[in-house]
Chains A and B, each alone.
Chain A
Amino acid sequence: MEALTWGGIFARILTQLLPVWIALIATFALSITYKRRLGLYGKLFDSPIGMIGFGIVMFWVFTGLFGGLFDLITTHDVLEQSARMKNKLPGTAFVASNGKMPEGAYPYYLLGGDNLGRDVWSRMIVGAWEVIKIAPFATLFAFMVGITLGLPAGYHGSRLDTGLSFVANLILAFPVILLFYLLVTPEIVATGIPRYMAGVLFLFPIIFLVVLINSRFHTQPPKRNLYAAIALAIGGWLYLGIAWDADPFGIIAFPPNLLVVFVSVVFVNSPTVFRIVRGLTMDIKTRDYVAAAQTRGEGTWYIMLWEILPNARGPLIVDFCLRIGYTTILLGTLGFFGLGLSPESPDWGSTINDGRRLLQVYLHPALAPALSLLSLVLGLNLLADGLREESLKD
């Protein structure tokens, strides 16, 4: 079979991405129709920069979901190797190792083959899923840790603040790569230190939720008990499953090397979030509505979580978007140095690292994931910029 021309490759990529286009159009049509009722999210559609950023981000979210989870967009198995497809250029017709074209297989390697003869296109798509399933959750966890510690540090000040700030600065003074090299090695994993760190760090979301519920509903004990029990049950179940791999029902299983990556990314991100939250709290606690709540005799946690936190949400949402981008970069760095993830893993960092050895001769295996990572982070930055602009307008 003939190799495809660039136009042919482009057309086939567009058709292959059809589910993503449909999902994107549906999202945009629905959001724009109801944008007046959707608060800050709706206002995003007033700013062109924000819309472009949101579009790019959602493109990768849908690509990751459909490709990684439902197997819709990928054309070949990400681990399947073909000796005859090594370093083949984009658009080459697919031939299996035995020289034949298997029945029912996709006839082309759309973006060529890598140095082991795997399909670059499929690996790029599944790589998006690797990012989408880690980065937002790692960032969310880092925010929970940062908020739970940053609010009291900023609100109470004094010794607590000094101590926590010292620890935060300690972690921040560590070069990130050195920390990764120290934490994400098989020897350290064998000692179980990352698991203990997970045990401590993953407690914070549960603490956060329970305190949040308690401070709001402590005047209505039945309601409080019900909500807190639900949060404790679900949180505790997830906690046991994720952090200790001891899910009593055996449903949640978290691969140990993924846990290490997750924990180290949360660990690196939380001190910065802590500092931001602390700074915002110190600023907001001088406002009149906080003084009013204090005069009413509200509890300190109620003031922190239901008076200060909602008023700090603007900068926090913006930082959340930026931080997902930064986490994506960190995950890529881990992959680039071959830390944590398995060597066969299709994540973008590892693929870039694999591809760079032959970069002088074959560009496509490294360039495809590199540009994908670039566009996702760019999208998140643009989205954050759009959100900042819109949130400053009111």
Chain B
Amino acid sequence: MGLFILRRVGVMILTALCLTFVVFFLTNLPPNLEKLAKTQGEMRMTDAEVERWLANRGYSQPLVVKYGQWLGVLPGYVIDGTDGQLRGKCIPLGGTGEGAPTFCGVLQGDWGRSQVFKQPVLDVVSTRLSLTGILMFWVMAVMVPTALIVGILAGMREGSRLDRSLSSFSILTTATPEYVSGVVFISVFSSTTMGLKWFNGSAASAMDGATFNNFTLPVLTIALYGMGYIARMTRASMAEVMTAQYIRTARLKGVSFRNIVVKHALRNALIAPFTVIMLQFPWLLNGVVIVETLFNYKGFGWTLVQAAGNNDIELLLGVSVVSVFVVLITQLISDIGYVYLNPRISVK
């Protein structure tokens, strides 16, 4: 087991390195750097000025060197600029370079500075991530139990009317992307035209304090899309378990249907959905981006849109590192959990 986890962690780190390098490569392409120089410096810079501006700030170094510096395995650049100012990756703005560390990258905990928010990336990411964490918590709290109940109820009597209606419901939710359900929810529950106005159509106030009023619609919007998939997996798994030999034996012994479901079928039926729930995280991340944009909730997904839209390189890298790690860690947990839950599988 230890070796298995070790190998998975190794693959995970390799994946994270590859992915951040891809992001690094794409954000550091010449047109992107030129745009950066023009938005940071001046709109009407000539090509030669752009080049100088970039060279002074260390952007003209080879890609691999820049990546190494960002990662913190190569010493940060120190450039005596053509405009007479000394700049270094590890030197604070306007500093002299005295006593500055040689290495400052992600590994040393220095994630750079966000150009859009004018704050250290680590601060931006952590505050935004905690806001999204609250959202995710409520999404999970709504989605997982509902999905499991719907799936189990549908799967315990396959082909019944209850199964048909619950299955149609889950198909409907998987066919409704967040930007559709969000729009429908806002127009039904919060617009002046329909006159219901039960909930708040914007979640901007939820950043200070989430209430039932301003948080219901965003949570419901994300939860619904993911729910259908988990419910269908649970249903399939439950339906399979219900045809197993030991269920028939229990039935012939005269165990009540309720006890069969609760005591015999449930635990075995929940192994497959567990993996699916864990693998839903990357999907939820997508939903979070859409919903936070739609409901104006300034969390992690909203930050991603801001960073990508403004080519805020360091922030974009920070955001992708975090999201890639969220995806990879949930995959790892789902693998390990699967082994623990399912006694039939053993890892050499």
Residues of A at under 8 Å CB distance from B?
A: 166, 169-170, 172-178, 181-183, 185, 187-188, 190-191, 193, 325, 329, 332-333, 336-337, 349, 352-353, 355-356, 359-363, 366-367, 370-371, 373-374, 377-378, 380-382, 385
Q: Kindly supply a per-residue 1/0 record for chain B positions 244-277, scoring 1 wherever the CB is within 8 Å of any chain A CB and 0 otherwise.
A: 0000000000000000000000000000000000
Q: How far is the CB of A179 from chain B (nearest CB, A)?
A: 9
Q: Is the CB of B180 within 8 A of A363?
A: no
Q: Is the CB of B175 within 8 A of A325?
A: yes
Report chain A residues within 8 Å CB of B11: 166
Residue of B nearest to A384 (CB): B171
Q: Is the CB of B183 within 8 A of A359?
A: yes
For this complex, 13 residue pairs linking A to B, each with C-beta atoms less than 8 Å apart, are: A175-B285, A176-B286, A178-B323, A188-B29, A333-B290, A349-B179, A352-B179, A363-B191, A366-B187, A367-B183, A373-B180, A374-B184, A381-B175
Report which of A329, A337, A366 forms a contact with B305, defined as CB distance below 8 A: A337
Q: How far is the CB of B260 from chain A (nearest CB, A)?
A: 25
Report which of A190, A360, A370 forms a contact with B184, defined as CB distance below 8 A: A370
Interface set, chain B 323-348, CB cutoff 8 A to A: 323-324, 327-328, 331
Residue of A nearest to B179 (CB): A336
Known: A181-B304, A371-B184, A374-B175. 6 other contacts (CB 8 A): A182-B26, A332-B177, A332-B180, A377-B177, A381-B175, A382-B171
Q: Is the CB of B192 within 8 A of A361?
A: yes
Report chain A residues within 8 Å CB of B328: 173
Q: Is the CB of A177 within 8 A of B175?
A: no
Report if B61 contacts A (CB, 8 A). no
Report if B102 contacts A (CB, 8 A). no
* A80–B290 CA distance with the chains assembled, in angstroms: 30
Report chain A residues within 8 Å CB of B301: 177
Query: Does more than half of chain A's interface fall in helix, strand or loop, or is it mixed?
Result: helix
Report chain B residues within 8 Å CB of A374: 175-176, 180, 184
A-B contact count, CB below 8 Å?
Answer: 134
Q: Is the CB of B190 within 8 A of A366?
A: no
Report chain A residues within 8 Å CB of B180: 332, 352, 370-371, 373-374
Q: Is the CB of B309 within 8 A of A181?
A: yes
Report if B23 contacts A (CB, 8 A). yes
Q: Is the CB of A175 within 8 A of B323?
A: yes
Q: Is the CB of B175 within 8 A of A378?
A: yes
Report chain A residues within 8 Å CB of B7: none
Report chain B residues within 8 Å CB of A371: 180, 184
Given A178-B304, A356-B183, do A170 and B191 touch, yes or no (CB 8 Å)?
A: no
Q: How far is the CB of B118 from chain A (nearest CB, A)?
A: 21
Given A352-B183, A361-B191, do A191 and B327 touch, yes or no (CB 8 Å)?
A: no
Report which residue of B23, B30, B286, B293 has the largest number of chain A beta carbons within 10 angstroms of its beta carbon.
Answer: B286
Q: Is the CB of B319 within 8 A of A178?
A: yes
* A188–B186 CA distance with the chains assembled, in angstroms: 35
Report chain B residues within 8 Å CB of A172: 282
Residue of A nearest to B324 (CB): A173
Report if B18 contacts A (CB, 8 A). yes
Report if B220 contacts A (CB, 8 A). no
* A181–B174 CA distance with the chains assembled, in angstroms: 24
* A366–B308 CA distance with the chains assembled, in angstroms: 25
Q: How far is the CB of B343 from chain A (nearest CB, A)?
A: 23
Report chain B residues within 8 Å CB of A366: 183, 187
Report chain A residues within 8 Å CB of B191: 359-361, 363
Report chain B residues within 8 Å CB of A355: 183
Report which of A185, A325, A362 forms a contact with B193, defined as CB distance below 8 A: A362
Report if B221 contacts A (CB, 8 A). no
Q: Is the CB of B286 within 8 A of A177?
A: yes
Q: Is the CB of A177 within 8 A of B304?
A: yes
